[in-house]
A = this chain, B = another copy of it.
């Protein structure tokens, strides 16, 4: 039993945006600091923007930020947006189910109850609660060092030379 890496990375991204709400974060930066795939992260950002958790500011100096307060984002709501489905067993999906006894089998009910208990815990945990310890936040920032990469334009002479080549 596992969550998708889509959810895993989405939670990491949201934690970073909640930890450092005062500035925009680029996908490049988040991918580098967590050492995760930039391409994978791009897809996750799209999901989170569409679900209303993240704002993407375009243009030079643009980047990502939370689209609403961290206190308004529960882990449960994130999982509902990022998990492909919650089809614990085949009979959870009426379309593809082939089990003949679904209509009277009690296993499904027990698993639905367990899933509800799982989601109930996550529906009570907000991003803000996960970032409510200054000591833990400080440690997280230390472990995810931010080293801005200065992209300098080449000197004028060099640019001229290159163009002449």
Residues of chain A at the chain B interface (Cβ within 8 Å): 1-5, 7-8, 11-12, 15, 34-35, 75, 79, 83, 85-90, 98-101, 103-107, 110-111, 113-115, 117-122, 125, 129-131, 133, 136, 139-140, 143-144
A146 to chain B, nearest CB (A): 13
Quickly give the copy total for this chain: 2
Given contacts A2-B86, A114-B119, 15 further A-B contacts (CB under 8 A): A1-B1, A1-B2, A1-B83, A1-B88, A2-B88, A3-B111, A75-B110, A100-B143, A101-B139, A105-B130, A105-B140, A106-B129, A106-B130, A107-B130, A118-B118
- Let me know if A34 and B1 touch, CB within 8 A: no
